[in-house]
Chains A and B, each alone.
Chain A
């Protein structure tokens, strides 16, 4: 599978020695090998991108380099010296700093308190608040956002993008030798991405090694000198960005061409009547939502983090209901104020976070599959009406339908792999006979094989006459699966795009521009 390609990881000829090096790192989690014998070298004054699909092991590798995880085997060398980090503090003390993908801020504390959390300037344990605020201001000025963000405001009062900038400020303030950025631009608009680019250039000139994780390939090619590709926890290759084309890297990442990946889109004759219609609906997070969902179609919802994607799903399912506007199902006005009402109206919701919202981790597969059925039945129905045999049959039918790989349906779901867990989540909604399915990030963090089978399942659902709303932050998934695409921006629907829209058009809309905006500006921050 490895192509003939210039290899940069070979013996560093006249180059400086690597500032950070990982050798033969392996890390296992229950049911998954997250990293399998991975070795990479990172040079000072260089931006080194680590790319790969979700679940490729990028984030695990980062967490090992900063001491948040301890590897099962393998070594880490810092400036040629072998190190091992048992606690993040040890990595930070040695000059390895990270900007995390998920927000790692304390919302109830101020910007300055967050930036210097754990390192407050102090005398005899008493914090010098004035000094801390001054230092915070200096750091914010350094990254060019001093005029946007005041050190004394609470983090909870900031927008998602501003919070991301505070995270960046926090990581910079450590004066690190190695700075890891885990998807730093996911929540940023174009202007802020530019700020970040400038910052990266300046840090690089100071001799800092920057490790840049992203799956926006254009961004990677613009900013990075070297690119390391991981796939399914394995090291594939390290290449020089100047010597390869983006398509080569994509091939290394997925190991196949993209067409095989998704089932064919729906055909016009398969689309039926309008099943679900929302008109002029708003709540605290969403404004003026209008949408139509037809039988037999997959409606993709794209948008940046914090654009209101998940909030839309939650509104449609009655978790945080709409306050104004109307929702009609098969032409009948309905109210969905609670998930129970939504389930009775035959709406199913496959949540974004299967660990906390999708599954009862410590219960067996069987009970998880039957959760929704039981929630709409008479409480004792399952026992009284010959329910035990019926539910046993239902469980085995569902299990075959979604192809859960397990030796017994009595196994607790916490022991299943991510992909198999997601199939259990799906099956619990299949059992409910829903006519409208809402999928929020249906394949986040699961292996490629399970991904493909979940995509097939979604398409089979629409072929059998249901309608699907699919939210995803992965543009290839949106484009590969959707018959129509709605793009969200700041709690509104910014626009609609037809099937097979380009990633550029989607990203333009998702950052609040129209599709006919200039293409050059678009290429800067996104793919």
Chain B
């Protein structure tokens, strides 16, 4: 019975019914192109190497975690440019508090989580209560954070104990701990968005804030919540980075371009920059696209600037294809 209906459906209908974000076709295409280049130029050594395959995933972790948070605020029709410096401040503060002593780990985590909540709360309060545009608000807090940490720390300060490096380098069986954490964050984000009241309200606030208000929703609280969660994902990314680097420095956030790249991967993943539509699975694919591209081109020895050019082209192409699709659907 089920097979009959399944075969009657066209392939396109099937895809729509299981709702795979279209960005996965981009990801597939990038994999295929990477695979062909790999076969032609290096006899398939890149993708057949398990270490490199894992590296693609590990490269996705830092950006992936914070991009999930960014997806939340963008679905709420907001934006967070301060995440890069939240990453920095987390990296620096956690290694400074830990000072190589495993006994300090809980304290350090408590401190940076606290900092993350405060930054998210401040961002959310300024945006919702003072009605300052989210772009400007988070640009402002981002500059404030930049000034503070650059004045306080000039270089690597403190270090993380060996046990904390488990986050960045440890494995559970064949799978890196960090990849498991990324997946947990993505699944958590998906659950939050699609199964909870908070998620439903966030889509509403982002889709049309006035409709949400007239439906009796306290829109401010929802958006403040999203900003706190976004800052917390940036904290988690900061903790991952410091466990990889073994010590934190003020420049790790801005040098990783976590602000603009988390926005870019969210949008490439199919989330509307104007809010109300999208999801974290798409964002994960967006992040993977970038890391597959980086890894293959890096292994092939392609000029790194060409990789950047391609990243730019992919961002524009992906988003252009979505607007084209949605125009067709409207027709």
Can you list 7 contacts pairing A with B, beta carbon distance less than 8 Å?
A: A87-B213, A89-B217, A104-B214, A117-B217, A125-B196, A127-B197, A170-B215
CB contacts under 8 Å to A, within B196-227, are 196-198, 200-201, 203-204, 207-208, 210-218
CB distance from B78 to the nearest CB of A (A): 17
Is A118 located at the chain interface by the 8 A CB criterion? yes
How many angstroms between the C-alpha atoms of A89 and B208 in the bound complex?
Answer: 16
A106 and B211 form a contact (CB under 8 A): yes
Nearest chain A residue, comparing its CB with the CB of B192:
A125
Q: Select one of A104, A108, A284 contacting B215, CB under 8 A.
A: A104
Is A403 located at the chain interface by the 8 A CB criterion? no
The 6 closest A-B pairs by CB, nearest first: A89-B216, A92-B216, A106-B207, A118-B217, A284-B331, A118-B215
Known: A88-B215, A93-B216. A109 touches B196 (CB 8 A): no
- 14 new A-B contacts, CB < 8 A, other than A89-B216, A125-B196, are A87-B218, A88-B215, A89-B217, A89-B218, A104-B215, A106-B204, A108-B203, A118-B217, A120-B197, A120-B200, A126-B195, A126-B196, A129-B195, A284-B331
B216 and A118 form a contact (CB under 8 A): yes
Is A113 located at the chain interface by the 8 A CB criterion? yes
Q: Which residues of B contact A88 (CB under 8 A)?
A: 213-216
CB distance from A22 to the nearest CB of B (A): 19
How many angstroms between the C-alpha atoms of A105 and B276 in the bound complex?
Answer: 12
Is B330 located at the chain interface by the 8 A CB criterion? yes
CB distance from B282 to the nearest CB of A (A): 14
* Most interface-central of B214, B218, B331 (chain A CB within 10 A): B214
Q: Which residues of B contact A108 (CB under 8 A)?
A: 203, 207, 276-277
* Most interface-central of B200, B213, B277 (chain A CB within 10 A): B200
* Most interface-central of A88, A100, A105, A117 (chain B CB within 10 A): A117
Give the interface residue-count category, chain A: 20 to 34
Total contacts A-B at CB 8 Å: 72
Q: Which residues of B contact A98 (CB under 8 A)?
A: 214
B211 and A122 form a contact (CB under 8 A): no
Q: Which residues of B contact A87 (CB under 8 A)?
A: 213, 216, 218
CB contacts under 8 Å to B, within A124-147, are 125-127, 129
How many angstroms between the C-alpha atoms of A89 and B215 in the bound complex?
Answer: 7
Q: Which residues of A contact B217 (CB under 8 A)?
A: 89, 117-118
CB distance from A431 to the nearest CB of B (A): 33
Known: A88-B214, A89-B217, A104-B211. A109 touches B195 (CB 8 A): no
Q: C-beta contact mask, A92-122 vs B, less than 8 Å → 1, else 0?
A: 1100001010001111110001000111101
CB distance from B225 to the nearest CB of A (A): 11
B196 and A127 form a contact (CB under 8 A): yes
Is A68 located at the chain interface by the 8 A CB criterion? yes
CB distance from B185 to the nearest CB of A (A): 18
B208 and A127 form a contact (CB under 8 A): no
* Most interface-central of B211, B213, B215 (chain A CB within 10 A): B215
CB distance from A303 to the nearest CB of B (A): 20
Number of chain B residues close to chain A: CB under 8 A: 23
Q: Which residues of A contact B331 (CB under 8 A)?
A: 284
A125 and B211 form a contact (CB under 8 A): no
B207 and A109 form a contact (CB under 8 A): yes
How many angstroms between the C-alpha atoms of A185 and B30 in the bound complex?
Answer: 52
B197 and A109 form a contact (CB under 8 A): no
A125 and B198 form a contact (CB under 8 A): yes
CB contacts under 8 Å to A, within B213-272, are 213-218
B204 and A109 form a contact (CB under 8 A): yes
A106 and B276 form a contact (CB under 8 A): yes
Q: Which residues of A contact B197 (CB under 8 A)?
A: 120, 122, 125-127
Q: C-beta contact mask, A61-79 vs B, less than 8 Å → 1, else 0?
A: 0000010100000000000
Q: Which residues of B contact A120 (CB under 8 A)?
A: 197, 200
Nearest chain B residue, comparing its CB with the CB of A91:
B216
CB contacts under 8 Å to A, within B175-203, are 195-198, 200-201, 203
A118 and B201 form a contact (CB under 8 A): yes
How many angstroms between the C-alpha atoms of A122 and B218 in the bound complex?
Answer: 17
B200 and A113 form a contact (CB under 8 A): yes
How many angstroms between the C-alpha atoms of A89 and B217 in the bound complex?
Answer: 6
Q: Which residues of A contact B200 (CB under 8 A)?
A: 109, 113, 117, 120, 127
* Most interface-central of B195, B210, B211, B277 (chain A CB within 10 A): B211
CB distance from A242 to the nearest CB of B (A): 34
Q: Select one of B201, B203, B211, B213 contacting A105, CB under 8 A.
A: B211
CB distance from B286 to the nearest CB of A (A): 19
* Most interface-central of B203, B216, B218, B330 (chain A CB within 10 A): B216
Nearest chain B residue, comparing its CB with the CB of A128:
B195
A117 and B215 form a contact (CB under 8 A): yes
Q: Which residues of B contact A118 (CB under 8 A)?
A: 201, 204, 212, 215-217
* Most interface-central of B197, B203, B331 (chain A CB within 10 A): B197
How many angstroms between the C-alpha atoms of A113 and B199 in the bound complex?
Answer: 11
Nearest chain B residue, comparing its CB with the CB of A68:
B214
CB distance from B98 to the nearest CB of A (A): 33
CB distance from B23 to the nearest CB of A (A): 17
Q: Which residues of B contact A126 (CB under 8 A)?
A: 195-197
How many angstroms between the C-alpha atoms of A126 and B192 in the bound complex?
Answer: 8
CB distance from B223 to the nearest CB of A (A): 14
B212 and A117 form a contact (CB under 8 A): yes
Q: Select one of A92, A100, A284 contacting B330, CB under 8 A.
A: A284
Nearest chain B residue, comparing its CB with the CB of A107:
B207
B214 and A117 form a contact (CB under 8 A): no
Nearest chain A residue, comparing its CB with the CB of B210:
A104
Q: Which residues of A contact B216 (CB under 8 A)?
A: 87-89, 92-93, 118-119
Known: A88-B215, A284-B330. A106 touches B198 (CB 8 A): no
Nearest chain B residue, comparing its CB with the CB of A93:
B216
Q: Which residues of B contact A92 (CB under 8 A)?
A: 215-216
CB distance from A316 to the nearest CB of B (A): 19
Q: Which residues of A contact B204 (CB under 8 A)?
A: 106, 109, 117-118
Q: C-beta contact mask, A39-72 vs B, less than 8 Å → 1, else 0?
A: 0000000000000000000000000001010000
Q: Which residues of A contact B277 (CB under 8 A)?
A: 108
How many angstroms between the C-alpha atoms of A146 and B283 in the bound complex?
Answer: 36
Q: C-beta contact mask, A201-215 vs B, less than 8 Å → 1, else 0?
A: 000000000000000
CB distance from B233 to the nearest CB of A (A): 19
Q: Which residues of B contact A119 (CB under 8 A)?
A: 216
CB distance from B234 to the nearest CB of A (A): 23
Q: Which residues of B contact A89 (CB under 8 A)?
A: 216-218
How many angstroms between the C-alpha atoms of A113 and B218 in the bound complex?
Answer: 17
How many angstroms between the C-alpha atoms of A498 and B95 in the bound complex?
Answer: 83
Nearest chain A residue, comparing its CB with the CB of B217:
A118
How many angstroms between the C-alpha atoms of A117 and B202 in the bound complex?
Answer: 11
How many angstroms between the C-alpha atoms of A106 and B215 in the bound complex?
Answer: 11
B207 and A122 form a contact (CB under 8 A): no
Q: Which residues of A contact B208 (CB under 8 A)?
A: 104, 106
How many angstroms between the C-alpha atoms of A119 and B216 in the bound complex?
Answer: 9
CB distance from A69 to the nearest CB of B (A): 11
CB distance from A427 to the nearest CB of B (A): 31
How many angstroms between the C-alpha atoms of A119 and B331 in the bound complex?
Answer: 33
How many angstroms between the C-alpha atoms of A365 and B314 in the bound complex?
Answer: 44
Q: Which residues of A contact B201 (CB under 8 A)?
A: 117-118
Q: Which residues of B contact A66 (CB under 8 A)?
A: 214
* Most interface-central of A89, A104, A118 (chain B CB within 10 A): A118
CB distance from B147 to the nearest CB of A (A): 33
How many angstroms between the C-alpha atoms of A119 and B204 in the bound complex?
Answer: 12
Q: Which residues of A contact B195 (CB under 8 A)?
A: 126-127, 129
How many angstroms between the C-alpha atoms of A118 and B211 in the bound complex?
Answer: 11
How many angstroms between the C-alpha atoms of A68 and B197 in the bound complex?
Answer: 23
Q: Which residues of A contact B213 (CB under 8 A)?
A: 68, 87-88
B214 and A106 form a contact (CB under 8 A): no
Nearest chain A residue, comparing its CB with the CB of B211:
A104
